Amino acid sequence: MKAMTAMTATQARKARERGQRAAGAVVGSAVGDALGAPFEFGPPGAFSARFPVPGSGGEMCGGGGWDAGEATDDTQMAVLAGESLVERGGLDPADLFARFQRWAAAEPKDIGLQTEDVLTNGLPWDRAAAEHFRVTGRAAGNGSLMRASTSAVRFARDRRAATMDAARRLSALTHGDPAAGEGVAVLHELVRAALDGGDPLAALPEALRSVRPDSRERYAAVLAPGWHPDRATEFNGAVWPCLGSAVWALRTTGSFEDALRAAVDTGGDTDTVAAVTGTLAGARYGLDAIPARWTAPLRVPLPGSGGRVLRVADLIGLARRLAG
Ligand SMILES: [Mg+2]
């Protein structure tokens, strides 16, 4: 009886920690998005030039058309994906595509060029992205990676192959280039490892072995321990340097706050690099590690959803439902 009680207490603690990490991934991504948005397309180092002393406050500053704490399309699409996964009891691609289309039609403040093309080209969900890729030959932006916090939490309860495959299917809704899906698959797997209580970086070699052979070399390069965002061969709006920069930010820092500072400081597509970093760092360190001064002002408007605006408590609730 005594042993059983002890086991139950351990299980309860583990479940609580898993819930903390799941909420950390979803809230962390939104925080990164809102933190990085005012610095989008700026030079490297702009964030720490403006906020040189970590922890001194005011970092959720707004600007560039964004209110302080306002999340962008990265988080808006992550929430749409998460709500579809919860309400449909799993991946229903036609339902999610329709939600994305309603959102795109309601004129969000920002939307990726490629995502907008695919959601408005009039083709059905199972042809729109593939056709876009066939015509343009370019579809490896970070637009499917940026919205993966919620799906990563939802599929973390499954095994490696299942969560990576779900990532590929979710990515393919808007990104016809399989290379984009491989990046989302790696992110899903790292979040799965973190929610299980492990070090996401320790899961990298196995994740890489599960990447499609034709994408493996390029991901191995940007995910290698010695890689630095300076070594990117393309703008970080592309999926490879975006994921590489997020993993680099996690690897080279020791806290949620420092990881996010490093992410925004990479410059360029700062909201998305920081959203992906926030997914990883939130899953690694848990909700409690995210500064309250960053979560308090957070707000996620959802164009096309009846004027709803989500706050941090709503995101925590969504994460709990996704974690199951
Ligand atoms: Mg954005």
Contacts for 131 with CB less than 8 Å, ≥ 6 apart? 121, 123, 176
Q: Coil, helix or strand for 299?
A: strand
User: Would you state the structure tokens that stand for residue 165, as one six-digit string?
Assistant: 């495959």
60, 47 Cβ separation under 8 angstroms: no
User: How far, in Å, from the CA of 245 to the mean position of ligand 1?
Assistant: 16
**Does this model's pTM top 0.85?**
yes
Give the DSSP letter string of 105-152. HT--S---HHHHHHHHS---TTTHHHHHHHHHS---BTTTTTT-HHHH
pLDDT-derived band at 139 (thresholds 50, 70, 90) equals confident
Sequence letter at residue 43: P
User: How far, in Å, from the CA of 73 to the mean position of ligand 1?
Assistant: 5
Give the DSSP letter string of 189-204. HHHHHHHTTS-GGGGH
User: How far, in Å, from the CA of 10 to the mean position of ligand 1?
Assistant: 39
38, 162 Cβ separation under 8 angstroms: no
Q: Coil, helix or strand for 64?
A: coil
H and E: helices and strands count for the chain: 16, 2
pLDDT > 70: what percent of the chain?
98
Contacts for 30 with CB less than 8 Å, ≥ 6 apart? 71, 75, 78, 149, 275, 278, 298, 300, 312, 315
- The residue written with tokens 């329709």 in the block is 98
Per-residue model confidence as pLDDT tens digits over 141-154:
999 999 999 999 99
User: How far, in Å, from the CA of 74 to the mean position of ligand 1?
Assistant: 5
Per-residue model confidence as pLDDT tens digits over 77-112:
999 999 999 999 999 999 999 999 999 999 999 999
Per-residue model confidence as pLDDT tens digits over 259-276:
999 999 999 999 999 999
User: How far, in Å, from the CA of 322 to the mean position of ligand 1?
Assistant: 22
Lowest mean pLDDT among 6-15, 17-26, 61-70, 307-316: 6-15
pLDDT beyond 80 at 127: yes
* 300, containing H or E segment: strand 300-301
User: How far, in Å, from the CA of 182 to the mean position of ligand 1?
Assistant: 20
CA angle at residue 75 from 292 to 53, to 5 degrees?
A: 40
End-to-end CA distance of the chain: 28
User: How far, in Å, from the CA of 270 to the mean position of ligand 1?
Assistant: 8
User: Would you state the structure tokens that stand for residue 185, as one six-digit string?
Assistant: 């698959």
pLDDT beyond 60 at 302: yes
Contacts for 26 with CB less than 8 Å, ≥ 6 apart? 78, 82, 149, 150, 153, 279, 282, 315, 316, 318, 319, 322
Which has the closest alpha carbon to 304: 37, 28, 119, 127? Answer: 119
- Helix, strand, coil content of the chain in percent (nearest 5): 65, 5, 35
User: How far, in Å, from the CA of 160 to the mean position of ligand 1?
Assistant: 28
Per-residue model confidence as pLDDT tens digits over 23-58:
999 999 999 999 999 999 999 999 999 999 999 999
User: How far, in Å, from the CA of 65 to the mean position of ligand 1?
Assistant: 12
User: Would you state the structure tokens that stand for residue 277, as one six-digit string?
Assistant: 């970093």
User: How far, in Å, from the CA of 275 to the mean position of ligand 1?
Assistant: 9
pLDDT beyond 60 at 129: yes
User: How far, in Å, from the CA of 4 to the mean position of ligand 1?
Assistant: 48
User: How far, in Å, from the CA of 15 to the mean position of ligand 1?
Assistant: 32
- The residue written with tokens 């970070």 in the block is 142
User: How far, in Å, from the CA of 16 to the mean position of ligand 1?
Assistant: 31
Burial of 50 (0-12, 13-18, 19+ CB in 10 A): middle
Q: What is the total residue count of the chain?
A: 324
36, 263 Cβ separation under 8 angstroms: yes
Instruction: Tell me how far apart the alpha carbons of residues 218 and 47 are, in angstroms, rounded to a whole number.
Output: 29
User: Would you state the structure tokens that stand for residue 114, as one six-digit string?
Assistant: 């490629």
192, 283 Cβ separation under 8 angstroms: no
User: How far, in Å, from the CA of 234 to the mean position of ligand 1?
Assistant: 18
